[in-house]
Amino acid sequence: MFILSEFPLPYPTDALTPYISQETIETHHGKHVAGYINNLNNLIENTPYEEMSLVEIIQESAKKTEDKKIFNNAAQIYNHDFFFHGMCPKCTAEIPSEIIKAFGSAENFKKQFKDSAAALFGSGYTWLVRDGDELKIVNTKDADTPIVRNMKPILNLDVWEHAYYLDYKNKRADFIDSFLNDLVDWNFVSENLKN
């Protein structure tokens, strides 16, 4: 059985203001993520999934059309946890040199990431991933996640409306700018690049 406290925020709920409000964090983490956890627990009760880790559930349920609901809820827990851990209040670290080398400059990386996130129609995530030896920016729709495609997540941005609508209304581009310029925890990114 999974519980919300197994997926804690790495900062207080008001720590990301003024870029993301306490109300948004409390709704996004405290209600949306909690809802996915409750749904997943109900769906996997008395099934073989009950004995698996979250990543194992995602990888196994991704192979089975009949387990789409299990996949959606498990992947949303994983994707959200990764998103929340990729931000920090008053971040001071610099963008890693490996990203600068791969994309030509920090500005070029941010532009490509923003363009990709802004172009994603509907709901989903924009990711920086390692695909083999290459760093790539990819979008996933709905609850989809790169870990089912043998890609290693490095950073992600949640562009479901519930991630930003209370604070930015329909201005997704402004939310993306705030994320890239003021919220990304580049130390978290650096650690993911090492492993």
- Express each pLDDT in 106-117 by its tens digit: 999 999 999 999
- Asked if the peptide bond before residue 18 counts as cis, ω within 30 degrees of 0, the response is yes
Q: For residue 114, give every residue at least 6 positions away whose Cβ sits within 8 Å of its Cβ, in sequence order, or none.
A: 173, 176, 177, 180
User: Domains in the chain and their CATH numbers?
Assistant: 21-85 (1.10.287.990), 97-194 (3.55.40.20)
pLDDT in tens, 74-129: 999 999 999 999 999 999 999 999 999 999 999 999 999 999 999 999 999 999 99
Q: Confirm if 70 and 39 have CB atoms less than 8 A apart.
A: no
Global pTM exceeds 0.85: yes
State the average pLDDT over residues 179-190.
98
